[in-house]
Amino acid sequence: MLKQRLLRWSLPLLAMSALPAAVAQTVAIDPATTYQVIRGFGGHNGAGWIADLTPAQVDTAFGTGQGQIGLTIMRMRIDASSTAWATQLPTAKLAKAKGATLFATPWTPPPYMKTSNAIAHGSLIPSYYPDYATHLLGFADYMRTNGAQLYGISVQNEPDWDPDYEGCTWTSAQFIDFIKSQGPRFAGLKLMAPESLGMRKVLSDPILNDAGAAAQLSIVAGHLYGTTSSDYPLARAKGKEVWMTEHYTDSTSDANDWAKAMPVAIEVHRSMAANYSAYVWWYIRRFYGLITEDGNVSKRGWIMSQYAKFVRPGYVRIGATQNPYPDVYVTAYKGGDGKVVVVAVNNGTAQRRVDLTFGSGAPRTLQRYVTSAATNESYAGDYPVIAGGASADLEPSSISTFVSQPAVADLTGSVKIVQGGLTANRFTGQFSGAVSFTNTTGATLTASTLRLVLEGLTPGVTLDNKQGDVNGVPYIALPVNQLAPGATVTVTTTFGNPSKGAIAYTPKLQGITF
């Protein structure tokens, strides 16, 4: 009798104790709610200070195949002496050829332009503002003419930090004066500032609040030393992207120490949730870096890859429940290729079940990849989306990336494609032209996304306004997802062609259905 009573009471208790693990929390994904455009994930190449990346390591960093991270941004240093610029070129060219976005940062102006007349300490003498701009533009021009066109250029690394090595201090007022007077000379380059040590808004607020300076500034850049990622409403209000351009979470432990690697996942998540368009790690290859000195991807690198390889440049962050559990961190994205990507970090010690629900645009299937102490971006199965949802168990201390698998239809035979003439910018090597599609069939062409695919694009030429690649082939989404019989839609293509050589490609129209 007593035994039966005990059983009656203990069973519900046992069931309740199991509840947290068995009951799922909902992650509501809303593709209709959009946030920042993602420019990419990257790292700094330390050529000049540490050994340059080898060509094989460039492949590992910027490739998207097995055993590769899929980085899409590379940062490099502008030496105070132009005689040292060649050091940056080999890897920059290789990374550029793999589609990476390049930007460069100076640690110091040439000493003669500074109050300290040395590479350390001091500030830029105002009468040298034009010469300093010429110095920075000289670097950009050197890279461009040698096949490594920069996307952006920073005014100064950590202007609020005065170390005994290369450095230069800047105030907000100095930034404003420099950017207002010299900014117009940086046409074709994204001007970045202030790259403060700790994303100090007190330094960047005055720049953004000065209409003349704000008009010339493209990217609010900053580092995360001594701080954590946080939203920057003023930058958004001024229409500026925010980039996290340098940080490491730990420089004293091995990059394969799993417990010390998980903070990378939390930091990248927080940066994305804070509306940053880019997250750039410090040294790409280092014992505490994304690639260890043996050339292999580290645990930190695999964590970065869970974002970098799947959330590609041009993707947009979309609405998603960020914390379905206190120790689970979720962000979601959609791309012009029709894909939806969900990255879920389980920072706890318990398995967590999540129901991924889609309010609209539900994909048919999600492929899952997992990095944990035991796995490196391992394929973890297909998850069919049924009635707008899919459930998954997130292993303790793991990062999962869910990627939708859209259907692709070739619609090239259903349209007349006309490629317009090009306009050229002789200084940036950018060529722009329009491509129009006219539906020649009697039926409306419909897909979740219609996109222009540029097959066989001339080697050395990049599609600068691409929204992504499929197996290395760039594409641009059309502004419509339906094309009525006889109707025409036009998109603009912008090519990076520093050599000003021939540009050729075969245009295709694809329809993507989620």
Partner 1 sequence: MVKHLTSFFTRALLALALAGGANTAFAGPMYHFTVDTTNLTGTGYLDLTFAALAGATPATATLTHFTGAFGGTALPTGDVGGDIGTAVTLGNGQTFNELLQAVTFGGLLGFDAAFDIAPGGTIGTGFGIALVNAALDNYVPGTMGNVASIDLMPGAPATVWADAAFVTATKVPEPAGLPLFATGCVLAVLALRRRTRS
Q: Burial, 492: exposed, middle or buried (Cβ in 10 Å; 0-12, 13-18, 19+)?
A: exposed
SS3 of 48, please?
Answer: coil
Q: Does 424 bind partner 1 (CB under 8 A)?
A: yes
Answer yes or no: 246 catalytic. yes
Region from 122-130, 172-180, 382-390, 431-439 binding partner 1, contact rule CB under 8 A: 431-439
Q: Does 456 bind partner 1 (CB under 8 A)?
A: no
Figure out which of the listed residues 263, 388, 433, 460 binds partner 1, where binding follows CB under 8 A. 433
Q: What is the 3-state secondary structure (H, E, C) of 473-493?
A: EEEEECCCCEECCCCEEEEEE
Q: Does 112 bind partner 1 (CB under 8 A)?
A: no
In the bound state with partner 1, the residue whose beta carbon lies nearer, of 15 and 504, is 504
| Residue 45 DSSP symbol | -
- Letters for 119-158 (x = contact with partner 1 by CB under 8 A, - = none) are ------------------x---x-----------------
Closest distance to partner 1 from the beta carbon of 78 (Å): 17
Figure out which of the listed residues 48, 147, 188, 460 binds partner 1, where binding follows CB under 8 A. 188
Amino acid residing at 20: P
Closest distance to partner 1 from the beta carbon of 186 (Å): 9
Q: Does 434 bind partner 1 (CB under 8 A)?
A: yes
In the bound state with partner 1, the residue whose beta carbon lies nearer, of 118 and 187, is 187
- Which H or E element spans position 187? none
Cα–Cα distances (Å) from 298 to 253, 254, 377, in that order, read 12, 9, 11
Cα separation, 237 vs 241, in Å, equals 10
Considering only residues 381 to 420 of the shown chain, the ones binding partner 1 according to CB under 8 A are 416-420
In the bound state with partner 1, the residue whose beta carbon lies nearer, of 33 and 134, is 134
Q: What is the 3-state secondary structure (H, E, C) of 208-269?
A: HHCHHHHHHCCEEEEECCCCCCCCCHHHHHCCCEEEEEECCCCCCCCCCCHHHHHHHHHHHH
Considering only residues 478 to 507 of the shown chain, the ones binding partner 1 according to CB under 8 A are 497, 500-505
Cα separation, 477 vs 169, in Å, equals 43
Q: Does 89 bind partner 1 (CB under 8 A)?
A: no
Indicate the pairing of strand 449-455 with strand 473-477: antiparallel
Closest distance to partner 1 from the beta carbon of 423 (Å): 5
Half-sphere exposure of residue 249: CA atoms within 13 angstroms, side-chain side: 23
Answer yes or no: 395 catalytic. no
| Residue in 195, 246, 267, 377 annotated catalytic | 246
Query: Which positions are annotated as active-site residues?
Result: 158, 246
Footprint of partner 1 (CB under 8 A): 137, 141, 184-185, 187-188, 416-427, 431, 433-434, 458, 497, 500-505
